[in-house]
Each structure stands twice: as C-alpha cells, then as structure tokens.
Amino acid sequence: MSKKLKPDQHRFLLNMGPQHPSTHGVLRIILEMDGEYIMDMDPVLGYGHRMQEKIAESSGWKSFLPYCARMDYVGALPYNHAYVALIERMTGIEVPKRAEYIRVLTSELNRVSSHLLWLGAFLLDLGAFTPILYCFDDREHILDILEDITGSRLTYCYYRVGGVNQDIDNKFVERTRAFIDRMRGRYQIYKDLVTDNVIFINRVKGIGIITPDMARRYGATGAVLRSCGIKYDIRKNEPYSVYPEFDFDIPIRENGDSFDRYLIKVAEIEQSLRIIEQALDRLPEGPSMGKVPKRIKLPAGDCSFAVETARGELTFYLVADGSDVPYRLKIRVPSFSNLSVIPEMCQGMLLADLVAAMGSLDLVIPEIDR
C-alpha cells in the first residue's frame, strides 16, 4: 500500500483474490477499507507470469506465433495480426489483398465474440444469470464459423507472414452472412433484457467514472477511453490493413461511467458487423498467401506495429540484430493501462460497486500477466 496503516485510523485491509470469480484470472487486489468504503487499493500482479517476451527472445520469430493467442485468449486474432504485420513491415513482405480482407473479416468476428463473452460475464458478476445464456448462444455461432477455417475455437494461430493459413470458402461466407442477420435480430432481446433493465441501470450508472484527464494520464485505450468522450480508435486514427476501405463509426460517450462503457461495447458489435458485411461484399479474388522466402532473417534495426483489439491499443515493438531470433520484443497491452486506472477510479467507492466498476473495464489478466 502507499502508506502503512495506523491503529487509530480504524481501517483494515481486505484481500480480493487472487482467486476470485469477478477477476476472471489470477488477480489480487489489496483493499484498504473504512467500513464499507474503499480508501485505497493496490492491484498485485505476477501470479500467472509466463515470461512470454523472453520466450520470443530465446526462439525464432516463427516459434512465437502460437504464443500470441495465449495472452488475450478471448480475442486472439488481433494479436496474431499485429505480430505477423510487424514481421511483414520489417522484412518488406507484401500481403495479397484477399488475405488482408480475410484478416479483417476474422478479426472482427473475433471482436464480436469477445464482446459477447464480456457482456455475459459482466452481467453474471452483477448477479444476472440469464444474459450469459443468450451471449454464449450467439458466440457459439462465431466459434463454429472460425473453427472451420482456423481449426481452433479459442487460441487461434491462423495468420501467417504473407497471408493466412487457409483460404475461406463459400460455406464461410454463407454462415457469416447468416450470423449477421441472426445477431441483428437479437438486439431487441439484449435491449429488453439488459439495456433497459432498471436494476442493471441502477447498478452501473454513475459508477466508476473516468475523466478524460485520468484516461490520458494512465494511457487508457479502447472503450475505456472512448467512454469519456475521446474519439480514438487505431483502425481510424492510425489505419492499417484494409480498414481505410470500410465505412464504420467509432461509438463514443461522455460520462465515462460503467454504463457508458457497456453502451459502447454493444454499439461496437454493430460496427463490427458493418465491417464484416462490407468485406464480404467486396472480397477480392486472388491468392490468400503471398510469396515468402523459406527462411526469413529480421534485418538489424527496430520496428513497431499497433492494432485495435477488443480492449484497446496493442503494440508489438521488436529490436532485431540481423538473425531470425528477435533481440528484444516488447508488447504494450491495453488491459495493463486500463487496470492502472482502478485505484484512482475506485477511491471512496462502496465495496459493493467495485465489481461493477472493474467488470466494465473488460480486463483480461493473462494479457497483463504475460
């Protein structure tokens, strides 16, 4: 803690975690309490640390591909995308346009599945059991679609330097279009069940307020940043892949509370469906894999690549010495910065509101504790 407790303060320490259902991973938070109120708190990391950046530095760049998905296991494909795009930028390898379209298609499907998992788990943390059944019902359709072409349902390793592992077929296109129609037909169910639910509104509205100044100071990104009025999304502000070819909006809100973060996530599902629909309509013909040398050596120097994941900005920064093994690899994950906001955001909050505030941030602990 920031300072030692004195006996005359009538305060006590309370451990939340490291094994706690609402942390969705091994996260420990030490709370300094004054009755039911949180006076100070200290997130403690390290329980699941796997030294993944050092693994990258002790093996060839190709060997690290499967590890990308083990960080954000809920939304792994943008991690795949960032890493292969980083190697492509360093080596000058060109990617066929069809492959870039497939990357966007699958990444956006993965984003929707991530948002659905978060939505169901968030409501479950608040005591509502029914929504997670609907969320997982919809999410299963995405997992079925992605499994057919990637061979996996969660920890994907589908992208390759120069393209993708396998081309999509008509079955993928038809099932994806069917899912878009299905998902849009479910919006009213979620609106009635959650968005307009007065119990849910009272639990999250005005809770966990983050100001623009706080968001900037801690480097918050994603829905956390956009909930307080800052319109920043890498797909628009620093465009990559073929995102500039698509028409979509960046949802923002002004209050910066847990309710606004929920509304942004729900709105982002529709924007992802818009991108997917346009990508299917414009899907070009051609190869799904470019020309790649049998052995790729990373030219000496440094390079970075950033993408917008389901939780915010992800950046891979690599320093190379001319071999095929990265000399240094640093990964900037969104959940770490978003977690850093919690002590200031929750100061003076009731303990009962902590789960609502923390859950709205959509944290993935293995992403932080990599």
Query: Token match 């979620």: residue?
Result: 190
Domain boundaries, the chain: 51-349
pLDDT of res. 1: 45
- Indicate the pLDDT class of residue 4, thresholds 50, 70 and 90: low
Torsion of CA 83, 87, 93, 98, to 10 degrees: 0
Domain 51-349: assigned CATH number: 1.10.645.10
Q: pTM of this prediction?
A: 0.94
| 178-206 confidence digits (pLDDT tens) | 999 999 999 999 999 999 999 999 999 99
Torsion of CA 320, 325, 327, 332, to 10 degrees: 90
Other C-beta atoms closer than 10 Å to the C-beta of 355 total 20
Q: For residue 299, what are the contacts with CB-CB under 8 A and spacing of at least 6?
A: 90, 91, 320, 322
What b/e string do you get for 316-330 counting C-beta neighbours within 10 Å, with b at 16 or more? bebbbeeeebbeebe
Res 7 pLDDT > 50: no
Res 166 pLDDT > 60: yes
Closest-CA residue to 357 (of 22, 120, 21, 86):
22
Peptide bond just before 18 cis, omega within 30 deg: yes
In angstroms, how far is the first alpha carbon of the chain from the final one?
A: 23
According to DSSP, the residues that pair with 289 across neighbouring strands are: 163
